[in-house]
Chain A
Amino acid sequence: MVGFTDIVLSHEVDVFSGSKHESDAAEFETRGVTVRARKPATT
């Protein structure tokens, strides 16, 4: 994430729970994640 600062991985969810491809998601260790970041106040 070039150019961003204060990058935080903040949240995980099991996106594919109950979906058709839940087993694929589990096999590939797929996760839903939320990332927060900030544009620097000065460049």
Chain B
Amino acid sequence: MSQLPEGMTAAAVQAAVRDRYGQVASTPEQGFTFPVGRQFAEAVGYPVELLNSLAPDAADAFAGVACPIAQAELAPGETVVDLGCGAGLDSLYAARLVGPKGCVIGLDFAPEMVARARAAASAAGAATVDIRLTDGTSLPVDDATADVVIVNGIFNLNPDKDALLAEVLRVLRPGGRLVTAEIALSGPLPEGEGHTLDDWFR
């Protein structure tokens, strides 16, 4: 378990993150302290052709960190788990790359995001994309299922990174890859920062 400031619980952090990303799913245009949307997706490397070919559901509520799929070297036929799939942009991108013989399991713990990702997958006719609701702790995926696990900005929001990594290890097949885009600090936070839930989203 990561060390949390005194008085802050993992459950409270999880609830706050779920609530905040539920808001992103429901009203992505409202403005957040972190970047959201298609323009940001383009800026971090998602192909314009991909974005143009999808209904706007996925890109308009995109709230990742980067474009980890660009580093994932996905191959046709592979099984991909998109952990923290949000509105589904990475799941849909991965589905294009693994093709009809591959499959993508998108996981998110915000019900509003799951609904949005399912709508985006349906609009795209992405029959190989399966979006599942998770509790954020135990992943609803069988052992040794995934060739690749993609993560786009989830570990930095999760108070128990070790447990989540153990789950990733469990669902990966032997030799499988993890590709994760994350927010990282170059050094420790200044004294007095990171003590409130609002700080969690700065």
Contacts and interface: CB of A to CB of B under 8 A. Distances in A.
Interface of A: 1-4, 10-11, 13, 15-21, 24, 28-43
Interface of B: 31-35, 43-45, 65-66, 68, 70-72, 162, 165-166, 169, 172-187, 189-190, 193, 202
Contact of B66 (A2, A29, A34, A38): A34
Nearest to A41: B175
B186 A1 contact: no
Question: Dominant SS at the B interface?
Answer: mixed
Nearest to B193: A28
Contacts of B176: 38-39
Most buried by B among A3, A15, A29: A15
Which residue among A11, A34, A41 has the maximum number of chain B CB atoms within 10 Å of its CB? A34
B175 A39 contact: yes
A15 B185 contact: no
A36 B177 contact: yes
Nearest to A27: B190
Contacts of B35: 15-16, 18-19
A17 to B, nearest CB: 7
Contacts of B187: 29
**Across the A-B interface, the 5 shortest Cβ-Cβ residue pairs:** A29-B186, A41-B175, A39-B172, A32-B65, A19-B35
A33 B66 CA distance: 8
B71 A39 contact: no
A30 B188 CA distance: 11
A15 B177 contact: no
B169 A3 contact: yes
Contacts of A18: 35
Nearest to B68: A34
